[in-house]
Structure 1
Amino acid sequence: MTHHTTPRTPRTHRSRAGRALGTGAVLTALALALALAGCGADAKDEANRTSGTAGPDRPADPAAPANPVEPAKPVVKGLPGMPPVLDRTDVYAADRPNKLSPVVKDFPSRVYVPNTESDTVTVIDPKTYEVVETIPVGVQPQHVVPSWDLKTLWVNNNRGHTLTPINPRTGKAGKPVEVHDPYNLYFTPNGKYAVVMASLDRELVFRDPHTMKRLKTEPVSCYGVNHADFSLDGRYFIVSCEFSGELLKVDTERMKVVGKQKLPFEGAMPQDVKISPDGKRFYIADMMADGMWVLDGEKFDEPTLLPTGKGTHGLYVSRDSREMFVSNRGEGTISVFDFTQDRLTKKWHLPDGGSPDMGGVSADGKVLWLSGRYDSEVYAIDTGTGAQLARIPVGNGPHGLAVYPQPGRYSLGHTGIFR
């Protein structure tokens, strides 16, 4: 059922441009590991993990075969201090439906919508599709960002030069923290730093993730740093530069730009960035090239363009890691990319058009929430059929909305990139 709470507001045209191993090999590897470790605790735990038998962190499964053998998975040597990767073949393995961290399991489910032209955050109850609160914040809020430890939502007041903390348990805003030019906000996978995308300052600013005290500033030569995602091992991240059509590769531990390239499209405006489940490719939405750039992050060589639709903007991975939803802001559509088939499989059209921008997927994976940037509204879309479930009026210029809480152990930032 589609809910229309009030008539749609007229569209404006303001944009950011203007403003596997075999069984024998597995058993051999396990025997060698046990021999070398003298059957110590670590070796036993590893044997339990690989064989699927019960152990300290894995209760026995009464339905499991007596001696199951699973394919061994390569060890990932991650960024120091980063929580171990759950599955070498799927960086989103911790994001399964309703797999909420104990930290957030009692938080009320809400959709937080920053309205860039109203200087407010609209709070929506996703069960009723009703607005339950409007929170005044700073000037030009761009994104609502979950903190690494999942305990705080940070509202990025870009031109107000502050971050407003919101307690997701109570829904109450706290005292704003002074941070210059916070267009977007990320967190290193080990939780050591917050990374502010200072778009107009042309800086990546590494800060304390709790106090937001500036720790290191990395100047960049590109213009309009805005979105990012981290490699599977967390040792580097790829950044999009909107206004100069460039990409950066940044060493996480050294907090240093180690690569830069110009996208091979005149007038390119790269936006959202997402890594593939297997960690082998990065996808970068481009609102002027009308598609996604596909990049090998390790090689950081020239990417290829996959057309999706006019004004390609946001990228959101499904709860089973099979698909990615791509918002095409300029034509009111959502493209669906299948990772397993490596191709686009569907395109959904919003009834009466719209301007789908940034958002996220519900905890159960059944609803895709997107802001309608030019239409002062939010869309709720069925992830199985593409049907519009609701169209909810909000403030002016709704942008980087956050669906919260979501599954995952920790947040890498933006509107919710969880691992």
Structure 2
Amino acid sequence: MITRRTAVSLLPLALFPAQALADTPMPPGAAAPQQLAMVMNSGEATISVIDMTTKQVINTLPMLREPSHWALTPDRKKLYVSDASGNALFIFDPLTAAPMGHIRIADPYQLAYTPDQKYLVVNALRLDYVDIYDATNMQLVKRFKSGKFPSHMDFSPDSRFSFHSMQKSNTLVSIDLATMTERWSVPIGKTPAGVLWHNGKLLICIMGENGIVEADPLTGEITRRQATGEGAHNIFLSTDRSTLYVSNRVGSTLSALDPVSLEVKRDYPIPGGPDDIGIAPDGKIWIALRFNEAVAILDPDTGNFDTITVGRSPHGIFLNTEMQKTGELTAERL
């Protein structure tokens, strides 16, 4: 049985042939890679690997303490999964979910590459740091202590600015990545979480105020508000850019918003505390249910969903079908 105290045995990278296979073009007529979902179970230090076709858990991978979020390296050859309490980034082959080792860094909770791929930015929620790493060698470039509980982040498309929600400071912070200085820190609402750059503005989920706000990226000034549901936690843009999805974790709903007006088009009741999501090629939405040991698979047309049992407190979710897409891939830009 795998538990939070399971000893993790990580073999040298050379012992895993999966990466070499991922680098080799598939010959004509070869079978497509198996469609896999990787679910980060924060409550039991495991990753559940699901066959997306059979909807069965086919493997359980041990972590150290608390896996939460993911980032795909710019060359798409490695998937980093953060283990905040374990002070480590675990590395996996994004096509096969094969373990590829780990690296030690301080408290990686949320992480993302800048659009220009120059930096890997890490929110260290427990230690109250925002850390900027050189993406080429993982050397720490600058550490900011700009608020309490840095949670989610996004960037301006030109990679000049980053934006970070500070859950316990109730602020949004912006950093100038060219000068490595803090631009501003503004009150944004009670317990902010998900952050998304959208149509030249910032959208921020405000968990304590049950909705989202739109803010000016130059000043942080709030320009619009939209109620969604209790505990509005994270926000995602659909693949075709036709819908914004907000996971209302406490109210256990997923809200579908018009991407221009921000008005709620539909609410989907999803018991169990919807958190992060992934969108499959067939349009189904895979949703980690933070308060249940399950993942929901929602048909957004009918509102029907199935569930798959996983580990305790499922948090982040990565679908390897993302690898079929072009352009930048992050947890928020699905």
Deviation of 1:177 after TM superposition, in Å, equals: 0.4
Q: Is the 8 A contact 1:108 1:168 kept in 2?
A: no
Task: Name the CA shift for 1:251/1:386 in 2 (closer, same or farther; >3 Å).
Answer: farther
Indicate yes or no: 2:186 matched with 1:270: no
Deviation sequence 1:189-247 (CA, Å, 0-9, x none): 11111111112222221213254232x22322311112111223332122111121110
Which amino acid is 1:161 matched to?
A: N
1:167 aligned residue:
93
Equivalent pairs: percent with the same residue?
A: 27
In 1, Cα distance between equivalents of 2:102 and 2:61: 13
Partners of 1:204 and 1:272 in 2: how far apart? 16
Aligned positions of 1:357-396 closer than 5 A: 357-364=275-282, 366-388=283-305, 390-396=306-312
- The alignment status of 1:249 with 2:169, answered yes or no, reads no
The change in CA–CA distance for 1:395 and 1:194 in structure 2 (over 3 A counts) is same
Q: What value does the CA root-mean-square deviation take over the aligned residues?
A: 2.1
Q: Which has the higher contact order (CA 8 A, sep 6+)?
A: 1
Q: Following the alignment from structure 1 to structure 2, what is the Cα–Cα distance between the partners of residues 157 and 295?
A: 30
The runs of 5 or more residues in structure 2 that have no matched partner are 1-23
Q: Tell me, what secondary structure is at the counterpart of 2:70?
A: strand
The CA distance in 2 between the partners of 1:321 and 1:103, in whole Å, is 30
Contact 2:130/2:144 (<8 A) preserved: yes
Aligned residue for 1:233?
A: 158
**Partner residue in 2 for 1:178:** 104
What's the TM-score, normalizing by structure 1? 0.69
- Within a 5 Å distance, the mapping from 1:287-298 to structure 2 comes to 287-298=207-218
Q: Residue 201 of structure 1 aligns to a residue in which SS?
A: coil
Counterparts in 2 of 1:182 and 1:301: CA distance versus 1, 3 Å:
same
Decide whether the 8 Å contact of 1:332 with 1:349 is kept in 2: yes
Contact 1:110 / 1:125 at 8 angstroms: preserved in 2? Answer: yes
Equivalent position of 2:266 in the other structure: 346
Which of these two proteins has the greater Rg computed from alpha carbons?
1
TM-aligned CA distance change 1:361 to 1:256, over 3 Å: farther
Structure 1: distance between partners of 2:165 and 2:25: 31
Does the CA contact (< 8 Å) of 1:113 and 1:144 recur in 2? no
- Preserved contact between residue 71 and residue 113 of structure 2 (Cα < 8 Å): no
- The answer on whether the counterparts of 1:157 and 1:183 sit within 8 Å (CA) in structure 2 is yes
How far has the Cα of 1:404 moved from its partner?
A: 2.2
In the aligned structure 1, how far is the partner of 2:89 from the partner of 2:33?
A: 21
Relative to its length, the structure with more strand (as a share) is 2
Shift of 1:173: 0.9
2:217 maps to amino acid: G
Partner of 2:84: 158
Residues 89, 104 of structure 2: 8 Å contact kept: yes
Structure 1 residue 256, shift from structure 2 partner: 2.6
The DSSP-based 3-state class of the residue aligned with 1:401 is: strand
1:325 to 233, 245, 261: 245
What is the alpha-carbon distance in structure 2 between the residues aligned to residue 281 and residue 410 of structure 1? 19
Residue 384 of structure 1, CA deviation: 2.5
* Residues 106 and 209 of structure 1, relative CA distance in 2, 3 Å threshold: farther
Q: Residue type matched to 1:239 in 2? A: H
